[in-house]
Structure 1
Amino acid sequence: MTAGQTHKVVTDSGAPSLDIDLFSEASLRNPFDDYRRLRDTGPVVWLSKIGIYAIGRFADAQKALRASDELISGEGVGFNDVFNAPKGMNVIQSDGDIHNRMRNTVMKPLTPAALREVRPRLKAMIVDQLQRFSKDVSFDAMKDIAPVLPVGAISHLVGIPDEGRERMLEWAAAAFNAIGPTPDADDAALLREAFAFISSMDENKVAEGSWSAGLFAAADKGKISRQEAVAAMSAYVVPSLDTTILASGHLLYNLATHGDQWDMVRENPDLIPSAVLENMRHSAPARWFSRVAAKEYAVDGMSIPKGARVMILYGCANRDERRFENPDRFDVTRDARDHLGWGTGPHMCAGMHLARMEMEVLLEALVEADVRLEAGEPVLAANAGLYGFAELPLRLIRNG
């Protein structure tokens, strides 16, 4: 074999085996070569280092995410028992009627129609923040811009008490980092702390008129149980914070390092929605979630045995050459509406409309500010569940 080749061992299921370690620090910081190897190896691959089947091609990942009766979430969507502990009792880790009931309640304030009245408030927040950077000085976008709207939504819409709000960024990062096969003890402790805090919530602790208050009102009407109301609160907080913060960081970096693309957006703001979707395709912050095969599951002539845990790779599928031409290129004119950055199927991200709106108003504010974007060398984080920057030096250079 030549350098870079991997010996393929075919398992009893017919799936080829790879010994790559997707959870290594090197792969977490630069996963795309490993993603390509996985896609080229087969439609489903046995990852021998962690003992899990992996699906990384676009069409197969899309199909798997929609096969919620065959690949279930109720046994947990992580890769260890700590992350998977609240099985069946939150929107992400549940199936069937329980999932549908909680998701329908969670989604009420998150539909595009319901979010229209929120948009001006979020736009005002980011405009105010951008006005602080008027002297063309470099700053860290991951601290000074990317978190503004996701944290603002938690503060002003979800209704979390101050004492919990202060810890949410720390809890969200720890939760996703604890998704891997061997979670760090500190991350596991923070994850349990987050679960304990959310479990302590009731209608007397959340802000009146907030989304969380709406959950407890639904419980009072018998639409969901109080336990489900508490569990559903986590869908407003943990999945939405870091994913949108990291996606916003990618958006700023991609436009700063592709000046021609930013020029097109500035000259034609109608491209803003397309730029946001292309960013989610090109630089998906959620790396993967897992499912468990409720029965034998077929993937393009190969089979995954009943009871096996399956890794579905969002970011890998979004770079699949079989679906997207020149997939490594960031192109704001690309039709990326079917990207898998927010998943698809019954478990498609409940907060995707809010996240999309937050990034759109960020770009609207930047276009209106008439600035060029200049990025320094970012620092990539090595989070086991999320792909994104820990630091991103950025300058907003005023035109004219």
Structure 2
Amino acid sequence: MLGETNCVAELDLNLFTDENLRAPFEAYRTIRDAGPVVRLPFSDVYAIGRFADVQTALRSSASLINGEGVGFSEEWNATRGTNVLQMDGRAHAKLRAVVMRPLAPSKLKEVRSELKRLVRARISALVDAGWFDAMKDLAAFLPVEAVSHLVGLPEAGRERMLEWAGASFNMIGPNPNDADIVATAGVRPFMASLTPETVKDGGWTDDLFKAVDAGRLTLAEATSAISAYVIPSLDTTILAKGHLLHDLATHREQWDMVRANPSKIPAAVSESVRRNSVLRWFARVAVEEYGVDNVTVPKGARVMLLYGCANRDERRYREPDKFDIDRDARDQLAWGTGTHMCAGVHLARLEMEVMLEALVEADVSLSSAPPTPGINRGLFGYTELPLRIDRRGTQRTDQNTNG
């Protein structure tokens, strides 16, 4: 049902159904075609889905704020004002600067060779090993190792980080289920249990505790920074790697281009991230009337910024559903833009690039069977991805290379 309310198109569309979570792109197209702003009564939000409009909104942090919560449930928004993602102004700038310090490209150069060594060994063990679940056995490998080696968290409790991350993002939608609420209940006690004695010497967490001792940070700020290293950086990067592996395995000519010219690896990463934006959406609240083209979002409204919808906008990208590593997708919005751009973007890109570098060096072919889409309300990705990594020249008759 499409109507008109105060010049804003209204759609009877629920983006949080299992069907739309597994395959969101037709719903995204409906939103883009309906107008620059669409009101979704089910979630009581104003959705923005066109590329240029989402890009502008993400850069309008004075008008559309994060500090009132970026989710659609009180359970998700409970950390507003204390979590770097749900802060604004000077408080956000101070904490983000702390979080970003070890994530700057110049700092990450120091760990690139170690991450490359780790993923090279993992891939070597998987070559010619037959079918395996790439989400569990390859995509999750480096993010979990980064938590171990870089963040420096203790072993005890760390094994639940993937569970906490997935449950946390699943609570972004309205009326979260009890299982996710219970699952995330363990995050706060775990963070509170961390001490300088229990974390790894020289790790990022150890540096935060030293900043507390020096009076540069409060303990609450340090704890929030630790959460920013862990919860947003696990599932998002894991799912992005799954998409990248599937894209290349099901588009053999694109993988051949990457193998022949490894300088295309950064472009392959950008294009896959654009095409399959893992982060579906975040919300902001309009602290004043906010105009998009000839439509006005009222003051106080919750605004839904659709990253995945914007990245498939025909107004910005020609044939946006196509996976094309020759496309210039450097402006894609999967990691956001503006003051709240993903703090871990450089680490995520580094992990994806070294994975492809190791695959190219191994001189392999990639084969994928159909993946299993997940239904996480905040993240788009696969729960399972059957994959083979075979030395080139191996003859196979059971490959699935349909895109």
Shorter-chain TM-score bucket reads: over 0.9
**What's 1:4 paired with?**
none
Paired residue secondary structure (2:278):
coil
**What's 1:288 paired with?**
281
Paired residue secondary structure (2:122):
helix
C-alpha distance in 1, partners of 2:195/2:298?
42
Tell me the alpha carbon deviations over residues 174-204 of structure 1, each in whole angstroms, 9 at most, x when there is no partner: 0111111111111012223213322332323
**What's 1:142 paired with?**
135
Query: Residue type matched to 2:295 in 1?
Result: M
Paired residue secondary structure (2:74):
coil
Q: How does 1:239-254 map to 2 (within 5 A)?
A: 239-254=232-247
Tell me the alpha carbon deviations over residues 23-73 of structure 1, each in whole angstroms, 9 at most, x when there is no partner: 000000000000000000011100011111101000000011111111100
**What's 2:217 paired with?**
224
**What's 1:233 paired with?**
226
C-alpha distance in 2, partners of 1:380/1:396?
21
Paired residue secondary structure (1:274):
helix
Q: How does 1:253-272 map to 2 (within 5 A)?
A: 253-272=246-265
**What's 2:194 paired with?**
201
Contact 2:128-2:388 within 8 A present in 1 as well: no
**1:125 Cα deviation from its structure 2 partner:** 0.7
**What's 2:4 paired with?**
10
C-alpha distance in 1, partners of 2:286/2:210?
35
Q: How does 1:54-203 map to 2 (within 5 A)?
A: 54-203=47-196
In the alignment, does 2:299 pair up with 1:306? yes
Paired residue secondary structure (1:17):
strand
**What's 2:333 paired with?**
340
Tell me the alpha carbon deviations over residues 106-138 of structure 1, each in whole angstroms, 9 at most, x when there is no partner: 101001100001001100111111111233401
**1:212 Cα deviation from its structure 2 partner:** 1.1
C-alpha distance in 2, partners of 1:61/1:129?
38
C-alpha distance in 2, partners of 1:316/1:199?
37
Q: How many residues align?
A: 393
Paired residue secondary structure (2:257):
helix
**1:162 Cα deviation from its structure 2 partner:** 0.9
Paired residue secondary structure (1:82):
helix
Contact 1:273-1:360 within 8 A present in 2 as well: yes
C-alpha distance in 2, partners of 1:372/1:30?
27
Tell me the alpha carbon deviations over residues 82-120 of structure 1, each in whole angstroms, 9 at most, x when there is no partner: 010011111101000110000000101001100001001
C-alpha distance in 1, partners of 2:193/2:38?
41
C-alpha distance in 2, partners of 1:397/1:125?
19
Query: Residue type matched to 1:8 in 2?
Result: L
Paired residue secondary structure (1:167):
helix
Contact 2:43-2:72 within 8 A present in 1 as well: no
Tell me the alpha carbon deviations over residues 131-186 of structure 1, each in whole angstroms, 9 at most, x when there is no partner: 11233401000110001110010011001111121100100110111111111111
**What's 2:396 paired with?**
none
C-alpha distance in 2, partners of 1:86/1:205?
25
C-alpha distance in 2, partners of 1:134/1:9?
55
Query: Residue type matched to 1:78 in 2?
Result: G
Contact 1:178-1:191 within 8 A present in 2 as well: no
**What's 2:37 paired with?**
44
Contact 1:106-1:215 within 8 A present in 2 as well: no
Query: Residue type matched to 2:294 in 1?
Result: G
Query: Residue type matched to 2:38 in 1?
Result: V
C-alpha distance in 2, partners of 1:145/1:194?
25
Alignment match of 1:379 (pick from 355, 363, 372): 372
In the alignment, does 2:367 pair up with 1:355? no
Contact 2:70-2:283 within 8 A present in 1 as well: yes
Contact 1:101-1:224 within 8 A present in 2 as well: no
C-alpha distance in 1, partners of 2:216/2:97?
10
Query: Residue type matched to 2:247 in 1?
Result: N
Contact 1:44-1:302 within 8 A present in 2 as well: yes
Contact 1:126-1:362 within 8 A present in 2 as well: yes
Q: Structure 2 unaligned runs (5+)?
A: 394-403
**What's 2:400 paired with?**
none
**1:353 Cα deviation from its structure 2 partner:** 0.1
Q: How does 1:16-35 map to 2 (within 5 A)?
A: 16-35=9-28
Paired residue secondary structure (2:85):
coil
Alignment match of 2:318 (pick from 325, 337, 346): 325
Contact 1:136-1:398 within 8 A present in 2 as well: no
Tell me the alpha carbon deviations over residues 339-384 of structure 1, each in whole angstroms, 9 at most, x when there is no partner: 0000000000000000000000000000000011000010001100
Between 113-122 and 186-195, report the one with greater CA deviation: 186-195
